[in-house]
Each structure stands twice: as C-alpha cells, then as structure tokens.
Amino acid sequence: MRTPMIAGNWKMNILKDNDDFPEQIYVNKINEAIKEKDVEVAIFPPFTHLGLIYGLADELPDNKSFNVGVQNISDNEKGAFTGDVSAELVSDVGGNIVILGHSERRSIHKETNEEICKKAKIAIKNGLQAVICIGETDEQNQSGDTLKVISEQFEKSTPSDIDVNSVVIAYEPVWAIGTGRTPSIDDIENIHSSLRKYISQSRGEEFANSVRILYGGSVNAKNGAEILGLNNVDGALVGGASLITEDFVKIIKSL
C-alpha cells in the first residue's frame, strides 16, 4: 500500500513573520489535516526558512508524517563551493527530503539527468529522501513524445541501486506548471499508468508497485480531489496553492 504524499513547493516566496502567512498557523493546520488522513506531507521552503519550519514541525506531538526539506542541493558533498548547500548540511539542521530535477532547475540552470542522478545519490547517502521531477514540454507533448521523454528522464535521473523508500517520482508536465492548464483526467491517469508500467519493466514489478508517483502542475483546491482520486496518482507536488493555507489543507483533506 502506497501512502500518499502531498508536497508543497514554496519556490522563492514568503518572508518570515508575514502577517498574511503565519507559519505557526500553517504548520498547525497541516498537522490537524494529517491526523484525519493516512497521508505524508512534505514542505519545501527556501533554504532560509528550513530551520524555522522544521522547528515548528518538530514541536508537534506526532510529526512522523510531517517532512521538511529543500528545493535543491549541491552535486558536491562538501568543500570550497561558495554559495552551494550540501545534503549533509540540510540533514544537519533537520531536513529529511529534497526536490531534485524540477523543470525550473532543468531549464533555467541547465541541469542534466546525469547531474540530477548524482545529486540523488548524495541525498540518499545523507539520509534525505529524493523527490525526482520529470516532465515534458508543450512541444514534446504535442509531438506525442511524453512517455519517451519522461521514461528517459526517469531512467537517467534515478539511481538504479536504491531502496524504493528513498525516492519519490513527481510527474510535472512543464507546460502545466504555474499556467493554470492541466492535462485531462484521462491523460493524467494514462501517463501515470504507462510510466508505472515502464518502471516495472526497468526496475522490476516490486519496485514499480511500491514507488510513489506524484502529479504536479497547477494542482489546486478545486481540481485536487479529482486528480488525487486516480489509481496511479500517489499524491501531488503543489506550487502556488501551497502558499495559501486553506487551499493546501483542502488538497490534503481531499484524499
């Protein structure tokens, strides 16, 4: 049985002590939602907020299903790499999960599958669960190359010799991120089903049946329940809606 995960990617947003976004209330409401559902929640604030959010979550009576992590790590373990943050440093201050290979990292920072795979190995070595993002562009989608693209990204970005519990896959069609556009419900189900079938052929049936595949791309409080109700969708990677407490909690509760 795959426990669903709802992940909130804050990207480069939210200031400390923002009156419109009280972090303590945010954490408390998520904790209440977790108690109602069999779900894991992961929050990915900017690096500057990691200690704050982890500290709030760590004070909860039962925080086993509340994960706090970061949106990227260095592909070096330590050393003279000014401006980089290592997996070990994240783990040292309480982080336990990391997003890798987000389309914005792939496109803006030109990260390759090979670099993402290297980061995933380092993350897992240091006790971080790796959420590996894959997804096609609008042009690739229109050309009918979605499965080809995401299968190759999965194969080359995901280490081959890993425990299934150390990795989560997030399918995010690039053309749907932050645009308000989403694939049809049938398309999401077909893509997730086809991807799981490919993973079964590549990594074995046991791995494929156990690995969680999240959907991301303009998930919100209105469409969350329908998307999360699909058989092969094991949760959601949420962007903008994760910055609105009521909307994010509604997505969690829609499971």
- The catalytic site residues sit at 102, 172
State how far the alpha carbon of 58 is from the alpha carbons of 10, 49, 52, in Å: 19, 14, 10
Structure tokens at 215: 């959907």
DSSP-based three-state secondary structure for 224: helix
| Alpha carbons 169 and 211: distance in angstroms, whole number | 7
| Alpha carbons 124 and 70: distance in angstroms, whole number | 14
Residue 167's beta-bridge partner residues?
130
State how far the alpha carbon of 61 is from the alpha carbons of 32, 33, 57, 58, in Å: 11, 14, 9, 8
